[in-house]
Amino acid sequence: MNLATLSASYLRARPLQTALSLGLLALGVGTIVAALLAVSQLEARMGRDARGIDLVVGAKGSPMQLILSGIYHLDAPTGNIPLAAAQALEKNRLVKKAMPLALGDSWKGFRIVGTPKAYAEHYGAKLGSGRYYEKAMEAVVGSEVAARTGVGVGARFTGAHGLGGEGDEHAESPYTVVGVLEKTGSVLDRLVLTGIESVWQVHETAHEPADEEDRKAREGDREVTVLLIQYASPLAVATLPRAINSKSELQAASPAFETARLFRIVGAGVEALRAFAVVLILAAGLSVFIALYTALEERRYDLAVMRTLGASPGRLFGLLLFEGMLLSFIGALLGFILGHVFAAGLGAWLEAAQQPAVTGLAFRIEEIWVLATALAVGFVAALIPACRAYRTDVSRTLAQG
C-alpha cells in the first residue's frame, strides 16, 4: 500500500468515471500531438524540398500552383515557357544556379522530370545503383519509385501523358532505367528523372520532322515547364522577380512566400483543430473535477476513517491531488500513443496517395509541453476536491454515522 496504489484503487473503484476522464483527455492530447507531428513534419519536408531555391519561373497563372507543381510536384503545371527565355535567364548575372524542368508525363503516378543532372545533385542525391542518364530515353528513378514499382537498372517503361497515370501512353518511346537513387528524404524520392531532351523527343517522335528546316523550326519552338533559380546575391530579391514578371510570357514566384501563404491557409484549419483539442482537454479537466468532487460525498467516511488511522489532513489533500494527477498523467500517456497512431495513420494515408509522408515514430520536444499542460489541468481540477478533503471534520463526520 502506498499513495499510488491507494489512488489507483479509488480510480478502479469507479471505472466509468475514470474511463470518461481518460478518454476525453486522451482524445484531446492525441489530437494536439497528431496535429503537432503532422504540421511540423510537413513543414520540415516542404522546407527541405524548397531549400536553395529562391525563385520558380514558369508560365503565367497562379503563383502557388507554380510552386506546387515546380518544387513539390503536387499540382499540374501552369504551362510551358520558351526554352530561349529560360536560357536568357540562366545567363543573368543575378542568377547563381538555374535548373530547367520539363514536366508533363508520368509513370504509374510518379512524375517524369526532364532536367539536367544538377537537379539531383541539388538535393544531395547519391546513386544507389547504376549511373546517371547520358543519352535520351535513359532514366534514373527515385528510391520510393523503385521500392513501389520494383524496377531496377535495365527495366523499361513507357510514360503516360498527364500526371494522373491515366493519359495516353507514349508506347513508341520507352524509357530505360539506368540508375536508382538512394533515399534523400526529399521530393526526389518520388520522381523519375531523365534528360530534358528525352521529354522533347517523346513529344516530337509522334511526328517525324519533314525536313531539316522543319527540325530547326521545332528546335526554335522548344519549351521547358519551369526554371528553378538560386540567386547570386541578395540584391536579386528586389529586382529579379519584378523584371521577370514584367515580361508577358513569364511569371516568377517565391517558394518562401508561397509556402508561408499555404501554411497560413492550412494553419487556420490546424488552429481550429487545436482549439477543438483544447476544448476536449478542458472538458477532461472538468470531468476529473466532477469525478473527484462527487466521489467526495461517498468517500467522506473513508476520509474520516483514514484520519482515525493516523493520516494528517495534508495526506488526504495529497491523496486527492495525486488521484487527479494520476488520472491526467495516464490520460496524457494514452493521448501520446493515440496521437502517434493518428500521425502514423495519416502518414499511411498520405503515402498511399504518393504525398509527402508523415511518420508516427518521430517525437517533438513540444510534446513535453502538452504533457505539462495535461498535468496542470489535472492539478487544477483536483485542487478544490483536495481542499475539501483537507478540511474534513472527522468528529462531525463520524457523528453522522
Partner 1 sequence: MISVKNLEHRYGNSVVLRVADWTVGAGERSLVIGPSGSGKSTLLHILAGLARPSAGRVSVFQKDIFSLKKTQIDRWRGATVGIVLQALHLVSHLTVRANLRLAQYLAHLPQDDKAVDNTLAALGVADKASSRPAELSQGEQQRVAIARAVVNGPKLLLADEPTANLDDAAAARAIELLLGEAGRRAATLIVATHDARVKRHFEKKLELAQ
Footprint of partner 1 (CB under 8 A) = 1-2, 6, 9-10, 12-13, 301-302, 304-315, 394-395, 398-399, 401
**Least distance CB 29 / partner 1 (angstroms):** 28
Nearest to 369, CA basis, from 292, 278, 269, 270: 278
Contacts of residue 87, Cβ cutoff 8 Å, sequence gap at least 6? none
Whose Cβ is closer to partner 1: residue 266's or residue 394's? Answer: 394
Whose Cβ is closer to partner 1: residue 57's or residue 304's? Answer: 304
**Least distance CB 311 / partner 1 (angstroms):** 4
Whose Cβ is closer to partner 1: residue 1's or residue 361's? Answer: 1
Q: How are beta strands 223-224 and 156-157 bridged, if at all?
A: unpaired
**Least distance CB 398 / partner 1 (angstroms):** 6
Whose Cβ is closer to partner 1: residue 311's or residue 380's? Answer: 311
Nearest to 255, CA basis, from 52, 6, 11: 52
**Least distance CB 23 / partner 1 (angstroms):** 22
Whose Cβ is closer to partner 1: residue 243's or residue 305's? Answer: 305
236's torsion region: left (phi>0), alpha (psi -120 to 50) or beta?
alpha
Q: How are beta strands 226-231 and 95-107 bridged, if at all?
A: antiparallel
Whose Cβ is closer to partner 1: residue 248's or residue 395's? Answer: 395
Whose Cβ is closer to partner 1: residue 246's or residue 395's? Answer: 395
Q: How far apart are the first and last CA of the chain?
A: 27
Whose Cβ is closer to partner 1: residue 233's or residue 312's? Answer: 312
Contacts of residue 325, Cβ cutoff 8 Å, sequence gap at least 6? 375, 378, 379, 382
CA 29/CA 25 separation, integer angstroms: 6
**Least distance CB 38 / partner 1 (angstroms):** 42
Whose Cβ is closer to partner 1: residue 117's or residue 315's? Answer: 315
**Least distance CB 359 / partner 1 (angstroms):** 42
**Least distance CB 328 / partner 1 (angstroms):** 21
Q: CA-CA distances (angstroms) from residue 20 to 28, 172, 367, 398?
A: 12, 64, 23, 32
CA 174/CA 155 separation, integer angstroms: 10
**Least distance CB 14 / partner 1 (angstroms):** 9
Q: How are beta strands 226-231 and 55-58 bridged, if at all?
A: antiparallel
**Least distance CB 48 / partner 1 (angstroms):** 55
Nearest to 204, CA basis, from 177, 236, 170, 243: 170
Contacts of residue 93, Cβ cutoff 8 Å, sequence gap at least 6? 232
Q: How many CB atoms lie within 10 A of CB 303?
A: 20
Burial class (CB in 10 A: 0-12, 13-18, 19+), 290: middle
